[in-house]
Structure 1
Amino acid sequence: MTVFVAVLSVLVGALCLLNLLLTVGVIRRLKEHTAHIEELRSSASGAPVQIMLPAGEEVGDFSARTVDGAEVSRGSLGGETLVGVFSPGCSACAEQLPLFTELAASFPGGKDRVLAVVVGDAEESAREIAELTPVARVVQEAHGGGTSTALGVNGFPALARIDTAGRVLASGYSVSDVEVLAGV
């Protein structure tokens, strides 16, 4: 019996030592990750993240069909156009969508000068599409679709004003960014 207790004690001691070593390793990794996160935060805080093509860049060619069945392309953007790209389930999109629809409703040229792109599954996008349809030509597409790719979208929401030549006049992730940059 004493041999059994001695073996059991050695085994428990070895397991405790292994647990201690693993815990020290996890703590070391957490410190490294924390340092990397802080480094990323400090480098990102100096410059704003570009959510889509910046002012002065030219929108790529695209062709899509709106939810109403109309054809829309870069060539069909007549005059200055307000563009909004949204995704269902995005909290920032939910915050900016009412502001965007309000701006779109008063945008010069009306619905023909407003393009809204909803990126996501058609079923998930139904609420956004319903809100945007009265004030914009709405395109619903999957992630990586042609319209959002042509606009250089890398996050949501992405908003812009585009001139007749397809050049971005202003872009950002909030309605106020687009209004300020466009001089509204």
Structure 2
Amino acid sequence: MPVLIAAVVLVGSLCTLDLLLTLGVVKRLREHTELLAKVSENMPGMPPVIGVGEEVGEFTAVGVDGEALTRESLRGDTLVAFFSPNCEPCHEMLPRFVAYARARSGDRERALAVVVGAADLAAEQVEALRPVARVVVEGSDTALTTAFRIKGFPTVLRVAQDGHGHAVVAQNRVNLDSPAVAA
């Protein structure tokens, strides 16, 4: 009987120790999650996208409809979005972007959508975006993602003209869930 009592006390002690260690690990993981969130928001020298007020870099691209696009073709208040066919959040955001772009202006010239990936994989996204935006598919040529310094997908920006007529980022995180205001 004393051996049985000792075994139960030992197992109980081990379970208590295991529980304490597990709670410590969970607490530490929460701390790390908070730190990683802060770092990704405030990564020095590596913003998640181009900053508000920064000028869009030079680019030349050809839309799926054959239209040549450059930085100068971003006139007025333009909605710019970057999607990837391999990105699940992109597929979830796509219908919201289409609805927002349609409600915002109804003019394809006021929206630019860039699908980064192979043309055959991008076909579904291109067809959904075509009625509301000028669409560019970027494969190996990443002129637009470089000009906008895109580091992740999906990304939605708003570009406007500054006082000198240059295309600058007016908003680098567009909330597609808020009502669009016609431009």
By the TM > 0.5 criterion, same fold?
yes
Whether 2:79 is the aligned partner of 1:87: answer: no
Q: Give 5+ residue unaligned stretches, structure 1.
A: 1-34
Contact preservation (8 Å) 1:85, 1:157 = yes
1:25-174 pair list within 5 angstroms: 41-46=33-38, 49=41, 50-108=47-105, 110-142=107-139, 145-164=142-161, 165-172=166-173
Q: Is the 8 A contact 2:101 2:132 kept in 1?
A: yes
Q: What is the CA–CA distance in structure 1 between the aligned matches of 2:106 and 2:174, rounded to whole Å?
A: 23
Q: Which string of whole-angstrom CA distances, capped at 9 and with x for unpartnered residues, describes residues 78-134 of structure 1?
A: 101000000002111011111100111122361001000000000000000000001
Unpaired runs of 5+ residues, structure 2, are: 1-27, 42-46
Q: How far 1:44 moved relative to its partner?
A: 2.6
Aligned to 2:16: none
CA distance in 2, matches of 1:96, 1:40: 28
1:5-59, Cα deviation, whole Å (9 max, x unpaired): xxxxxxxxxxxxxxxxxxxxxxxxxxxxxx7x77753323236644321212111
What percentage of aligned pairs have identical amino acids? 36
Q: Kindly state the Cα deviation for residue 144 of structure 1 after the two structures are TM-superposed.
A: 6.2
Check whether the contact 1:51–1:173 (CA below 8 A) recurs between aligned residues: no
Structure 2 distance, partners of 1:89, 1:52, is 19
| Paired amino acid for 2:172 | S
Query: How far has the Cα of 1:166 moved from its partner?
Result: 1.1
Q: 1:145 to 1:46 in 2, by over 3 A?
A: same
How far apart, CA to CA, are the structure 2 residues paired with 1:174 and 1:89? 22
Does the Cα contact within 8 Å between 2:85 and 2:115 map onto a contact in 1?
yes
Distance in 2 between the 1:92 and 1:170 partners?
A: 20
Query: Structure 1 residues 73 and 101, CA, compared in 2 at 3 Å: closer, same or farther?
Result: same
Question: 1:11: which partner in 2?
Answer: none
2: CA distance, partners of 1:40 / 1:166: 38
| Structure 1 residues 81 and 173: CA distance shift in structure 2, 3 A | closer
Question: Which consecutive aligned stretches of 4+ in structure 1 deviate over 3 angstroms post-superposition?
Answer: 37-40, 47-51
